[in-house]
């Protein structure tokens, strides 16, 4: 229900120019990264409270990561600098006192979002910025999910659907390592001189005992990690790092894991669903030392 209300409020706030959504086959592919937003806004606004609002809203840190990473990166330019070079960027926001809040899809490129925000009133601008952030963030998650809908590990997806009743689009790069005893585990390992990358996705369920649900989820998750995800050294296993608070954000629980009797750590995302008298947990964790993990975390958000 909350998601439906959010979508409805965004539709009311931003009127879409539907003419920009037609004939997309004649448009070029969009450019730029998912986390980049071209912000067309005069310096006088960027260097004022209006700019502070946008920086606080869009460049917030992703919770529960080993190092600081922003959710989005704003690239501010003046309107005189907006050339054809920027027109095909994936995300563009225009900010001015003489604009109406609105957005266009596929205006200059495929799968592009162009937004227009009025900055005449600070309080109203704060509300518009928050809703614009929610809109762009949700669109990114939808696009990632759509990518894995088109191509996924069909055996893994079928097993999860039949045994846990949820649709999880497992990427093809993952190998199924366990699907017995009511626990599903898939992993991806890449070790070479340039990259150490480990990713795990797990699904399991448990019965709610009527106590504190978040504590149950953490305890049950910790138990699964201890049993099924081991380190290379005998006696080492993955555990939730209880020294760092578990954060509920964006419909998921975000935590950090570390390796008992080892020296590894990374982000952990946990999503829950209710199926009759059971709680179904899907989780993703990663190890990618000294590298940005935003793309991995956003993918977990989309597919879990």
247 Cβ contact partners less than 8 Å away, ≥ 6 residues apart: 63, 64, 253, 254, 255
Instruction: List the single range of 7-21, 177-191, 266-280 with lowest mean pLDDT.
Output: 7-21
State the DSSP H helix or E strand holding residue 112, giving kind and residue range, or none if neither.
none
Instruction: Enter the DSSP assignment of 24.
Output: G
- In 28-66, which positions are buried (b, 16+ CB within 10 angstroms) versus exposed (e)? eebebebbbbbbbbbeebbeeebbebbeebbeeebbbbe
- The predicted-structure confidence for 27-55, as pLDDT tens digits, reads as follows 888 888 889 999 999 999 999 999 999 99
Q: Encoding tokens for residue 135?
A: 């809109």
pLDDT at 1: 45
Q: Encoding tokens for residue 256?
A: 């950090």
- The predicted-structure confidence for 230-284, as pLDDT tens digits, reads as follows 988 999 999 999 999 999 987 799 999 999 998 899 999 999 998 878 999 999 9
Give the predicted TM-score (pTM) of the model.
0.88
> CA 75, 78, 80, 85: dihedral to nearest 10 degrees?
0
Q: Measured between alpha carbons, how far is 51 from 64 in angstroms, rounded to an integer?
A: 26
pLDDT at 193: 60
Q: Encoding tokens for residue 54?
A: 């946008």
Q: Which residue has the higher pLDDT, 82 or 8?
A: 82
């Amino acid at each position: 229900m909350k998601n439906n209300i959010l979508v409805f409020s965004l539709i009311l706030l931003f009127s879409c120019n539907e003419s920009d959504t037609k004939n997309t086959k004649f448009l070029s592919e969009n450019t730029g990264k998912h986390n980049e937003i071209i912000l067309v806004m005069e310096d006088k606004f960027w260097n004022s409270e209006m700019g502070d609002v946008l920086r606080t809203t869009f460049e917030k840190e992703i919770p529960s990561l080993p190092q600081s990473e922003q959710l989005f990166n704003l690239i501010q330019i003046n309107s005189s600098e907006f050339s054809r070079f920027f027109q095909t960027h994936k995300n563009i926001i225009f900010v001015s006192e003489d604009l109406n809040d609105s957005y266009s899809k596929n205006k200059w490129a495929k799968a592009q979002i162009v937004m227009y925000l009025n900055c005449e009133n600070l309080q109203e601008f704060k509300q518009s910025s928050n809703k614009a952030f929610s809109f762009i963030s949700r669109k990114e998650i939808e696009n990632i999910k759509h990518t894995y809908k088109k191509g996924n590990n069909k055996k893994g997806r079928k097993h999860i659907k039949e045994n846990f009743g949820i649709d999880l689009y497992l990427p093809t790069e993952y190998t199924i390592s366990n699907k017995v005893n009511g626990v599903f585990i898939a992993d991806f390992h890449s070790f070479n001189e340039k990259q150490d990358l480990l990713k795990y996705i797990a699904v399991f369920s448990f019965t709610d005992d009527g106590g504190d649900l978040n504590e149950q989820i953490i305890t049950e998750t910790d138990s699964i990690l201890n049993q099924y995800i081991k380190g290379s050294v005998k006696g080492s296993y993955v555990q939730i790092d209880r020294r760092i608070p578990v954060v509920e954000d964006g419909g998921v629980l975000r935590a950090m894991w570390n390796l008992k009797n080892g020296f590894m750590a990374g982000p952990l995302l946990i999503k829950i669903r209710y199926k009759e008298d059971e709680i179904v947990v899907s989780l993703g964790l990663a190890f990618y030392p000294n590298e940005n993990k935003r793309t991995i975390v956003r993918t977990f958000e989309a597919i879990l």
